[in-house]
Chain A
Amino acid sequence: MASRLIQTTDRGLYCSAGDIYIDPWRAVDRALITHAHSDHARWGSRDYLCARPGEGVLRHRIGQDTSIESLPYGETRKINDVTVSFHPAGHILGSAQIRVERAGEVWVVSGDYKLDPDPTCELWEPVKCNTFITESTFGLPIYRWQEGSELMADINGWWEKNKSEGKSSLLLAYALGKAQRLMMGLDTSIGPIYTHGAVEALNEVYRESGVKLPDSARLSSNPKGTKYAGAMIIAPPSAYGTPWQRQLNPVSGAFASGWMMVRGIRRRRSLDKGFPVSDHCDWPSLLRAIQLTEAENILVTHGSSAILVRHLRELGLNADTLSTQFEGEEETPAAGEHSEDPEVTELASTEETTESTEVVEA
């Protein structure tokens, strides 16, 4: 390969033939955005281009006055020497894989994605390509998500049990994406749904974008002293253990995250419950997606990239690690560490990536 169609630079993934950046981590002239999570969509670039269904959330995230243009899924756009298009990634509302083509050579930057159905966004769609850039957040065979219906039955069962014990149910989930996905599966006959402000702000954007979320109300809109026994409260993980939470007592807290698959990680949190659910691929999905793209080159980024690369090579594929600043899924609701942005990710266990080779420079 004389020069790769897409390269990593200190500003992010760059395609020189199109003079475009994909999910840049510093301000650039022209940014193509896979989805609105903060490690992919950063503020400050001149012009943004994203998938049409994701325009609302992106605007909400990086500013109403920003220059944002959007394309319907599948529609192509010629930019300098390349043709780009957006294809559903199944991660959150409006999330996209970005296809970049130059003279018959096709690269796909998948951003974050999952194959499991999600009522808040379009199903992931395989895009044939020569080079596929994939994440590997849950790149270990221990990660295998349960069926969505089983998961929601578990969550609703927990809610019902808490209600019978006179407790409120505090479900901690990403404010953008997971909160809405879970809300869609809640059994509203059990009780009312209240939200943390960070979640409700995005609920509004989702509703404006046409997602039929069940009714929910901001917790802060209730008078002081409101009792929450039997209610479901959805909040970002960073709200956990803060004074905000006290008004919910007696409360049962649960964290909805793929990391909850592992008992040790679940038990380290002083939470009552952990629901293993993620908007990222589990191990079987990663392998299936890679196979469906029919790509001859696989570049693996954030997550267990060294493990996935080694496994793909054993399967006879041409795989390599690609170092980026994307972050995957936050492992823990860190008690008491309230951050400004609920999406700010303090990540554990993803830096396992680049160094499986034994000696690391001090």
Chain B
Amino acid sequence: MKNFTRLFTVIDETTKTSEKTKAMSEYFSTCSPADGAWTIYFLTGRKLRQLVPTARLRQTTKELAGLSDWLFAESYDAVGDLAETIALLLPPAKNSSDIPLHKWVEERLIPLRNMEETEQISKLISYWDELTTAERLVLNKLITGSFRVGVSQQLVTKALSKTSGIDEATVAHRLMGEWQPTPAFFEGLQNADTKDADASKPYPFYLAYPLEQETSALGDPGEWLAEWKWDGIRSQLIRREGETFIWSRGEDLITDRFPELVEASQFLPDGTVIDGEILAWSEGEVMPFAQLQTRIARKTLTKKILNDVPVALMAYDILEFQGHDIRQLPMNERRQILARLLAPGTLDNAPSCRGQLHPTFRISPSLTCSSWEELTEARTNSRELKVEGLMLKRANSPYGVGRRKGDWWKWKVNPYSIDAVLIYAQRGHGKRASLYTDYTFGVWQEGKLVPVAKAYSGLDDKEIRQVDDFIRKNTLEKFGPVRTVKPQLVFEIAFEGIQHSPRHKSGIAVRFPRIARWRIDKPMEEADSLDTLAALIEGKVALKNSDTANNAIKFDTMADSSGEGE
């Protein structure tokens, strides 16, 4: 636990990826395979299911520290993180120990889950009593399933590659999908000869960066392929050994959510991996993402929902063909293979096709790319076509690993934007704990401000401090952690989509809202009204040509992995 805590602390304290990689690769080169496997498990965001109910952790802490409920609540409010609050409040430890991570997890933590309450509590108390504050923080995060540290899977991959000398793509592939954190797994990761036999294993997704420069900087448009940017669930469909596996970009196995895709994929040859976007698709066009979302949320897929929200796979790439990894082939060759595979009549065994393109497999159409002006013009049709914009992919590029700049760009249409007034605020969490950074914004309706969007900060540190200061000085009321703020500050809120929603007080729901900028120049009376928003839904109002829309808007809490197709 001491080594693991040290690693966590080093990663936590630095923002430099070089130092994080160095710390990890040092750790991996000296740790036991059993510890290494669990470390990768946790660093890549995998979690143990909640081992002890949160309420019990709080209660036990309050009793050990002799604190009343409100004092615990005040402390939590100041810290902003439950695991840390508990670590700080517990009385100092009387013992110390250095038990390796895998022993902690396998022999101490996992058994907690099935214990009786009294036994669980007494174990917890004895565990806490042998750890430092930093170790307790890590332990509590493992117990509550809230362990997160600032490294991406890509960085972990890089560190492992550095330690083992195996190339990053291979390590990344081995880290995909489902695996057990065993010593054998850790050794297999670093083994040059491992035959990766797992039929379900997906490839790492290649992710695009938002296009920030002018298209002219990309050079000759003839070297690029353009297609629509679909708004669905980015997925990999794998057909191997007579079985189908569907993975989301968040690396969830979602095969059973899409029986129609499983059914259709029976007719794909073994050794096929397709990359594409699962869309709600009806009568030849894409349905709003919200529809797909309601379908995903259902525990059981009824006939009705399958009928109401049918899906299709909008295929745009092929990574494995006839059992061969073809990711190194140029993009345009891969597309040709994909086109041949899914061409009308090719999937001859499929009885429903009868020489037609299979209805559940569609190929994302290529746009002609003779000039950037033409594409810019085409992009303006995005909203009408219910897509998010364009994807630009370099025709001769291989399929990469992770998010890389250069070969794939997402070129979204400008977001919608409105001016809204700050009306409620709440403290942030983690890095923003103790500052008011979670805001709710309202627009006018009959002389009152109705809440329409919640956004975490898109402001810089200085602005955050200023807004925080304003909130503290202009609080009208407090409801638990929420402060009602004197309406005064106006912000431009950008968002990707807008829909009617009976579940929201305003009757409207916006998608991916974030702060584009602080409108210091604008009095609150001039903020937008609900009518303006309603008109956006109807498409009656031309989009404001927001000059900030293309600026890199920082929003670090918007990682909706499944929803973000590339």
Contacts and interface: CB of A to CB of B under 8 A. Distances in A.
Contacts of B431: 264, 267-268
A141 B81 contact: no
B65 interface: yes
B71 A311 contact: yes
Nearest to B476: A362
A218 interface: no
B433 A141 contact: no
A35 B14 CA distance: 37
Given A144-B88, A351-B472, A360-B476, A265 B433 contact: yes
Interface string A309-352: 01100100000000000000000001100000000000011011
Given A307-B71, A359-B477, A264 B486 contact: no
Contact of B75 (A140, A268, A359): A140
B478 interface: yes
A335 B462 CA distance: 9
Nearest to A263: B84
B85 A142 contact: yes
Contacts of A291: none
A190 interface: no
Given A140-B78, A141-B67, A141-B89, A262 B433 contact: yes
Given A141-B67, A261-B88, A268-B461, A362 B486 contact: yes
A334 B465 CA distance: 10
Contacts of A144: 88, 92
Contacts of B68: 311, 314
A272 B13 contact: yes
Contacts of A142: 75, 78-79, 85, 88-89
Q: How large is the interface on B (under 10, 10 to 19, 20 to 34, 35 or more residues)?
A: 35 or more
A140 B80 CA distance: 14
B113 interface: no
Interface in A252-305: 261-268, 270, 272-273, 304
Given A142-B85, A311-B71, A351-B472, A268 B65 contact: no
A212 B13 CA distance: 34
Is chain B's interface secondary structure helix, strand, loop, or mixed overall? helix
B434 A349 contact: yes
Contacts of B525: none
A358 interface: yes
A349 B469 CA distance: 9
Determine which residue in A142, A273, A307, A314 has the highest number of CB atoms from chain B within 10 A of its CB, and name it. Answer: A142
B75 A141 contact: yes
Contacts of B137: 263
A264 B88 contact: no
B12 A264 contact: no
A314 B469 CA distance: 31
Contacts of A261: 88
A151 to B, nearest CB: 13
A114 B432 CA distance: 29
A140 B476 contact: no
Contact of B434 (A141, A262, A360): A262
Interface of B: 12-15, 65, 67-68, 70-71, 74-75, 78-81, 84-85, 88-89, 92, 137, 428-435, 461, 465, 468-469, 472-478, 486
For the complex of A and B, list the 3 residue pairs with the smallest distance between their C-beta atoms, beginning with the closest: A264-B433, A142-B88, A267-B431
Interface of A: 140-142, 144, 261-268, 270, 272-273, 304, 307, 310-311, 314, 334-335, 348-349, 351-352, 355, 358-360, 362
